[in-house]
Amino acid sequence: MIRHRLIAIRLSLAVVLLALSGCSSWSYAPLVVPDGLERMQSKQAEDVEVSVAILTDEQAEQHFGIDLNSRDLQAIWVSVKNESPYRFWFLRTVLDLDIYPPDEVAILYKSQLPKNDFSVFRQRLRDESMRVQIQPRSVTQGFVFAPKALGGRYVDIRLGQDIYDVEIARRAAQEAGETDIKAKDLELRFDFAIPLPDGIFDYERLDTQHTYAGQTLPELTLDELRAELRTLPCCSTNADADALGDPLNIAIIGDSSQVLNSLSRSGWSFTHRLSIKSITNLIGATLASTPYPVAPVSDLFLFGRKQDLALQRGRPSIAERNHMRLWLAPFSYAGQQVWVGQISRDIGIKVTSKSSSLTTHIIDPEVDLAREYLLHTLLAGGFVEAMGFVKGSQAAAMSDPAVNLVGDSYFSDGLRLVIHLSDSPVPYSQVRSFLWERSAAPILEGQSADAEENFQTLDSPQ
Exposed, middle or buried, 38 (CB in 10 Å: 0-12/13-18/19+)? exposed
DSSP 236: E
Long-range contacts of 35-39 (CB under 8 A, 24+ apart): 37/77, 39/194, 39/195
For the chain, first and last CA: distance in Å? 105
Three-state SS for 47?
coil
Measured torsion, CA atoms of residues 104, 108, 111, 115, in degrees rounded to the nearest 10: -30
Contacts of 171 by beta carbon, 8 Å cutoff, 6+ apart:
none
Q: What is the DSSP string of 145-201?
A: EEE--SEEEEEEEEEEE-HHHHHHHHHHHHHTTPPPPPGGGGEEEEEEEEEE--S-B
- Rounded to an integer, what distance in angstroms lies between the CA atom of residue 335 and that of residue 187? 32
pLDDT of residue 184: 52
- Rounded to an integer, what distance in angstroms lies between the CA atom of residue 43 and that of residue 48? 9
Q: Which helix (H) or strand (E) holds 391?
A: strand 384-396
Which whole-number Å values give the CA distances from 277 to 204, 205, 420, in the listed order? 16, 17, 36
Contacts of 19 by beta carbon, 8 Å cutoff, 6+ apart:
none
- Rounded to an integer, what distance in angstroms lies between the CA atom of residue 447 and that of residue 218? 42
pLDDT of residue 354: 61
Nearest CA-CA partner of 286 in 359, 178, 196: 359
Measured torsion, CA atoms of residues 294, 299, 301, 303, in degrees rounded to the nearest 10: 60
The C-alpha angle 350, 352, 355, rounded to 5 degrees, equals 110
Residue 12 confidence class, pLDDT cut points 50, 70, 90 = very low
Nearest CA-CA partner of 272 in 203, 350, 339: 203
- Rounded to an integer, what distance in angstroms lies between the CA atom of residue 373 and that of residue 346? 13
pTM confidence score: 0.78
- Rounded to an integer, what distance in angstroms lies between the CA atom of residue 214 and that of residue 200? 28
Asked if residue 121 lies in contact with residue 26, where contact means CB atoms within 8 angstroms, the answer is yes
Q: Which residue has the higher pLDDT, 309 or 8?
A: 309
Model confidence pLDDT, tens digit, residues 319-335: 567 789 999 999 999 99
Three-state SS for 205?
helix
pLDDT(9) > 60: no
Residue 400 confidence class, pLDDT cut points 50, 70, 90 = very high
Strands (E), 40-150: 41-45, 48-54, 73-82, 88-90, 133-134, 138-147
Return the minimum-mean-pLDDT range out of 18-27, 207-216, 431-440: 18-27
- Asked whether the CA dihedral 136, 141, 142, 146 is positive or negative, the reply is positive
Asked if residue 319 lies in contact with residue 287, where contact means CB atoms within 8 angstroms, the answer is no
The mean pLDDT of the chain is 87
Chain centroid to CA 151: how far? Answer: 9
User: What number of CA atoms fall less than 13 Å from residue 345's CA on the CB side?
Assistant: 13
Model confidence pLDDT, tens digit, residues 169-214: 888 888 888 866 655 567 899 988 888 887 778 888 889 999 999 9
Which whole-number Å values give the CA distances from 264 to 156, 209, 261, 381, 416, in the listed order? 11, 22, 5, 11, 22
Residue 315 confidence class, pLDDT cut points 50, 70, 90 = low
Exposed, middle or buried, 181 (CB in 10 Å: 0-12/13-18/19+)? middle
Model confidence pLDDT, tens digit, residues 145-180: 999 988 888 899 999 999 999 888 888 888 888 866
- Rounded to an integer, what distance in angstroms lies between the CA atom of residue 405 and that of residue 95? 40
Mean pLDDT of 231-252: 96
Q: What stretches of 65-162 show up as alpha helix (H) in DSSP?
A: 92-95, 102-108, 118-128
Sheet holding 138-147, edge to edge: 41-45, 48-54, 73-82, 138-147
